[in-house]
Amino acid sequence: MPAADLTRAALSAARVWLVGGGKMGGALLTGWLDHGVAPDNVTVIDPGLDQGPHGVRLAADPAAPLAEGPAPDVLLLAVKPQVMDSVLPAYRALGGGPTVVLSVAAGRLIAGFETAFGPGTPVVRSIPNTPAAVHRGMTVACANGHVTDTARATCEALLGAVGDIAWVTDEALIDAVTAVSGSGPAYVFWLTECMTQAGIDGGLPADLAARIARATVCGAGALMDASPEDPATLRRNVTSPNGTTAAALEVLMQESGGLGPLMSRAVAAATQRSQDLAG
């Protein structure tokens, strides 16, 4: 069976409880429904929601779905890291069985979920990013030893419904992933802000500067996505010798104070913060 058909089959059969229907949870839910998850196979547990997509069950707390069963194939935790500890005890009964605990919360270790749910619980820790809202996300995931191939395929299908997905076997790498892709959209947005301000400083009207900066960043991203060439080649393609782009890159590519070393320091700071949050 082709990979796309396997993905759709895994999605259509999956029973999912989504804990937290906020921005990330909502983006995931939309992606699932668009890719074939049956609405009546999904339960969204969030006291702040009073309506959802047609056919998706809503619950204010886990008591009702836990009492009625059956247990979900995947319990996806999409609540903020700082409230996770207050949420987990309600789902303790799902631990130690076939239900996969799938987290999208930053800074929460697999070991913490194993402790909360008990021995033998399958756990997947993942880090998606905000472009998941437009189905262009990047997610990296890590599974513990209790996750079967079938469960892994289901988690991959769920996460892949909103973009690209990669796996790592070393959980320690998730901190760097968080710093690059999890936080990365903010870097791109800030670059766009800086380009806008630079245009204003160069004499452009503010609305025009904002328009061309935004369009340029979006267009360059689309070109990079569509091109088989790597970013370095694409950069060289637009850089004429002794031209305007070369003049700008001489500033941006300085060995000590340029964008490269600055980005490395920024990612290192975000990585350290991720490690600090994980304890």
Q: Is 79 known to sit in a ligand binding site? A: yes
CB 69 within 8 A of CB 79: no
Q: Is 80 known to sit in a ligand binding site? A: yes
How far apart are the C-alpha atoms of 126 and 181, rounded to whole Å?
Answer: 12
How far apart are the C-alpha atoms of 232 and 138, rounded to whole Å?
Answer: 21
Inter-helix orientation angle 3-13/149-160, to 10°: 90
Q: Is 81 known to sit in a ligand binding site? A: yes
How far apart are the C-alpha atoms of 176 and 259, rounded to whole Å?
Answer: 18
Q: Which residue has the tokens 């996770």?
A: 84
β-strand partners of 118 = none
Q: Is 47 known to sit in a ligand binding site? A: no
CA dihedral 251, 257, 260, 261 (to 10 degrees): 170
φ, ψ (nearest 5 deg) of residue 275: -65, -40
Geometric angle at alpha carbon 50, from 49 and 53, rounded to 5°:
85
Annotated binding site for NADP(+): 78-81
Annotated binding site: 78-81
